[in-house]
Amino acid sequence: ASRPFHPDDTRIEIRGHVVGGPEPTLIAGPCSVETREGLLEIARAIKRSGAHMLRGGAFKPRSSPYSFQGLGEEGLKYLADAREETGLAIVSEVMEPGLVPLVAEYVDVLQIGARNMQNFPLLKAVGRTGKPVLLKRGFSNTIEEWLMSAEYIMAEGNPNVILCERGIRTFETYTRNTLDLNAVPVVKHLSHLPILVDPSHGVGHARYVTDMARAGIAAGAHGVIVEVHKDPSQAWSDGNQTITLEEFDQLARQVRAIHQVM
C-alpha cells in the first residue's frame, strides 16, 4: 500500500467508473437493504443525481443482537435487481470469511466494516477474491494499522483496495464519531490507494452530513459514501444520519463542484 513501492495513484475501474480517476466517486444508499421496491426507488433517484454505486447492508454488524440483522441473501438479490435496472455498481458488507464467496457472487465491491478492520482471516478471504474491497477504518485504529490491513488484502494478490475514513471515537458526544479529515492528506501522502470519506457514520446526524462531505472532498478525498433513504425517519437502521433523496441530489452537485476546482 506504500507510495515508495508504487509511486502512481491506484485507479480501480468498476462498471465504467474509475475510482481514483478524474470524477469524484459517489456512493449512496440505505444503511440496510429493506424492501425491494424501496431499494429500487432509492437506486433510481441516486442514479438520476449522478451516483456511481448503490450501497446497502444485507448482513449488518449491529451493536445489539436484538436489532435488525439484515435480510441476508434476499437483500443481495434486491441489490442485484437494482443493478440490473439502473446499471449502478453494488457495494455491500461481508462480515465472515465463510460468506465471502456468496457475497462476492452478487456485489461489485466487498465492504469491510469498521468493526472488522482487523479481522485478518476476513481480510485474507476478500483478498483471495480479487474483487474491489472498500476497507473502512476501524473507529479505534491508527492510520498505520489501517494501511497494514490493506496490506493483508493486497498480500493475497488483490490490489483493488479502496480506503474509507468513517470517523473515529473521541471524547466528543455531540457527534457519533469524529470524521478524521487529517487522515485524507496523510493517507494520500503515505499510500497510492484511493480514499473515500463516509460523513454519515463520521458525524451520525443527517444535518451535518453534507457539510462534512464537502469538507472531505476539499481535503482531497476521491469521493464519498453516504446513507440515503426516501424517508429517513422510517429507515430500519441509522435513520438519524440518513439524508433524503433531495438532499443527496444537492450533495452530489456540491461534491462535483468542489472536486472540479481541486
The answer to whether residues 150 and 161 touch, using CB atoms and an 8 Å cutoff, is: yes
Q: Examine residue 201 and tell whether it contacts ligand PEP (CB under 6 A).
A: yes
Interacting stretch for ligand PEP, rule CB under 6 A, among 110-118, 168-176, 180-188, 210-218?
110-118
- Select from 14, 27, 31, 219 the one that contacts Mn ion (CB under 5 A): 31
Based on CB atoms, which residue is closest to ligand PEP, 227 or 249? 227
Provide CB contacts within 8 A for 123, sequence distance 6+.
Answer: 112, 149, 152, 153
Is the Cβ of residue 1 or residue 43 nearer to Mn ion in the bound state? 43
Nearer to ligand PEP, 58 or 157 (CB): 58
When the beta carbons of 45 and 134 are compared against ligand PEP, the nearer one is 134
Question: How many Cβ atoms are within 10 Å of 99's Cβ, its own excluded?
Answer: 16
Please check whether residue 226 is in contact with residue 42, taking contact to mean a CB–CB distance below 8 angstroms: no
Cell of 79: 441489490
User: Shortest distance, CB of residue 218 to Mn ion, whole angstroms?
Assistant: 24
Q: How many of the chain's residues bind Mn ion (CB under 5 A)?
A: 2
Distances (CA, A) of 169 to 141, 186, 205, 233: 9, 18, 15, 25
Q: Residue 127 touches which of ligand PEP, Mn ion, none (CB < 5 to 8 A by kind)?
A: none
User: x/- contact string, 68-97, with ligand PEP (CB under 6 A)?
Assistant: ------------------------------
According to DSSP, the β-strands at 223-227 and 195-197 are parallel
Q: Which does 166 bind (CB under 5 to 8 A by kind): ligand PEP, Mn ion, none?
A: ligand PEP
The site string for Mn ion over 205-244 (x = CB under 5 A, - otherwise) reads ---------------------------------x------
Interacting residue with ligand PEP among 17, 52, 83, 136 (CB under 6 A)? 136
Q: What is the number of residues in the chain? A: 262
Which of 29, 57, 75, 199 is close enough to bind ligand PEP by CB under 6 A?
Answer: 57
Residues that bind ligand PEP (CB under 6 A): 31, 57, 61, 113-115, 136, 166, 201
